[in-house]
Amino acid sequence: MSNFFKGLFSNDIGIDLGTANTLVFVKDKGVIMSEPSVVAVYNNSKKVLAVGEKAKRMLGRTPGNISALRPMKEGVIADFEITEAMLRYFINKASSHLRKFTPPRVVVAVPSGITEVERRAVKESAIRAGARLVFLLDEPLAAAIGVGLPVWEPTASMIVDIGGGTTEVAIISLADVVYAKSIRVGGDKIDDEIIQYMKRAYNLLIGERMAEEIKMRIGSAFPLREELVMEVRGRDCVAGLPKTLIITSQEIREALDETFNKITDVIKEALENCPPELSGDLVAKGIVLAGGGSLIRNLDLRITDRTLIPCFAAEAPLLAVANGTGAVLNDLGWWMENS
């Protein structure tokens, strides 16, 4: 078939099923959507009310008969039915970008730690949601491809993907994951630590949104050339009234010290477990950071400081996995034969 006809009938999409955000990549178009991995359901009937952006707006403010859930929360599939509803929503929404008549082939990036049962469930869910063919891709491999690491070469690359629920560290060589370890520490945990700190230090109750805003606006993992300040609003636990105060980037960094150490420890563990012939590659090429959590200021510097190996932040860390699925779509035949 000529490329023209192939293009006419190709209907391929890649999905990054993340703990915080789900992204959809359409072949030849790029990332066409990114929405929170949240599903709102009625408690008694379990019927789905909303998915994505709309469901996220309900988080924390649902009436008694509705729950807003994050089915992938800790890098494992907490609820198959709800995950399926989420996949269906994303595949359906992507359909408007696809050609009619041919059901799509779908590459889904899944956490490397999920079980065989979960893998099968994702595959079957995607088929029921309208896919013609499903290929599961290890998330760290997708992230490594997405940030442009030379995964096909016989040289080691290390990718650290810091998402909402997990941090996944992987060493990759010859298009395969040589070592992978995942910990349940990511952006959510950081938000949580900020909430705890504000309560401990100031008796101030703040919500998850405020905590995330603090992280994004002044969060840092290593001293900044110019430290930052920010005004925080919350409710005083003692007086019970709204209160506003000013906090600094130094104090937030100190509050997050232990959490950052957990991330650097799991990287060190990976380096210690790396086959010796691959260690040298890592020293020479360094570590690449991806995922939204890697946007914390100076995390790369902290990792370099603790591991003595150069560490680099990817350019578009939130898109890494989705872009990786997109690259695999271009060579789907090869991937299906070789993995």
Name, in order, each residue with C-beta under 8 angstroms of 226's C-beta and a sequence gap of 6 or more.
none
> Nearest residue by C-beta to ligand ADP?
187
Angle at 162 between CA 197 and CA 145, to 5 degrees: 170
Least distance from C-beta 130 to ligand ADP, angstroms? 22
293 binds ligand ADP (CB under 6 A): yes
133 binds ligand ADP (CB under 6 A): no
Q: Could you please report the per-residue DSSP string of 33-77?
A: EEEES-EEEETTT--EEEETHHHHTTTT---TTEEEE-TTTTSS-
215 binds ligand ADP (CB under 6 A): yes
Here's the x/- map for Mg ion, 298-327, by CB under 5 A: it reads as -----------------------x------
Q: 172 or 274: whose CB is closer to ligand ADP?
A: 172
CA distances from 198 to 60, 61, 171, 206, 242 (A): 19, 22, 37, 7, 14
- The residue count for binding ligand ADP (CB under 6 A) is 19
164 binds Mg ion (CB under 5 A): no
Cα–Cα distance measured from residue 142 to residue 259, given in angstroms and rounded to the nearest whole number: 25
Cα–Cα distance measured from residue 124 to residue 89, given in angstroms and rounded to the nearest whole number: 15
Q: What are phi and psi of 34, to 5 degrees?
A: -145, 115
Torsion angle, CA of 234/238/241/244, rounded to 10 degrees? -40
Q: What are phi and psi of 160, to 5 degrees?
A: -120, 115
Q: Which stretch binds Mg ion (CB under 5 A): 10-18, 38-46, 61-69, 144-152?
A: 10-18
Least distance from C-beta 110 to ligand ADP, angstroms? 11
Question: What is the footprint of ligand ADP within residues 57-96 (CB under 6 A)?
Answer: none
User: How many helices, marked H, and strands, marked E, lie in the chain?
Assistant: 13, 16
Q: 167 or 298: whose CB is closer to Mg ion?
A: 167
Per partner kind, with CB cut-offs from 5 to 8 A, the member of ligand ADP, Mg ion, none near residue 309 is none
164 binds ligand ADP (CB under 6 A): yes
Question: What is the footprint of Mg ion within residues 12-31 (CB under 5 A)?
Answer: 18
Q: Which stretch binds ligand ADP (CB under 6 A): 79-87, 161-169, 247-255, 266-274?
A: 161-169
163 binds Mg ion (CB under 5 A): yes
20 binds ligand ADP (CB under 6 A): yes
Whether residue 122 contacts residue 77, with contact meaning beta carbons closer than 8 Å, is answered with yes
Q: 164 or 219: whose CB is closer to Mg ion?
A: 164
| DSSP reduced 3-state for 190 | helix
112 binds ligand ADP (CB under 6 A): no
- Identify the residue among 165, 234, 324, 326 touching ligand ADP (CB under 6 A): 165
Q: 52 or 293: whose CB is closer to ligand ADP?
A: 293
* Site for ligand ADP, rule CB under 6 A: 18-21, 163-165, 187-188, 212, 215-216, 219, 291-293, 295-296, 318
